[in-house]
Amino acid sequence: MKKFKNLNCVLLVDDDVPTNYIHRRIVQNTNIEVNVKSITSAQEALDYLTFSGKYEHDDTLRPGIIFLDINMPGMSGWDFMEEYGKIDAAHKARTIVIMLTTSLNPDDELMASENKEIVTYMHKPLNEDAFVKIAGKYFEEINN
């Protein structure tokens, strides 16, 4: 198993439970040692990142990668990014955000490219090769 520095957890933020399940399996099928946390709402993801709400006393692993859907009920991925920008830097240190969406709207891709906290805009579904490339690009492999 490969291990990467500061990549202990992947956070999947998508309101579609089957999509989260598929993406979890894809990440787990790679040769990368990483925990996967699935969350179905943008607000809950913010709570998770800031140790608030039901995560107030939670000391679970912080994500190295957040895969974020755009179109979710209530708070969208864009709403999440607006609030994410306000989070204390300590809560998002060493974390990258990847917009993972089915949106074909070119405005979404343009908005993502203009947001300094979104490193990549990708179309669903995630695949093993893409995940391995992302891990290798943004995280340093640990040689045991």
Write down the domain spans for the chain: 37-134
| The predicted structure's pLDDT at residue 93 | 78
Kind plus residue range of the DSSP H or E element containing 110:
helix 106-114
For CA atoms 130, 26, 56, 44, the dihedral sign is: positive
CATH 3.40.50.2300, applies to 37-134: yes
Task: Name the residue with higher pLDDT: 96 or 88.
Answer: 96
Residue 124 CA to residue 119 CA, distance in Å, equals 16
The whole-number pLDDT of residue 144 equals 64
- Cα distances from 97 to residues 57, 70, 80, 87, in angstroms, run 24, 12, 11, 14
Percent of the chain with pLDDT over 90: 83
pTM exceeding 0.85: yes
Tokens read off for 144? 């045991």
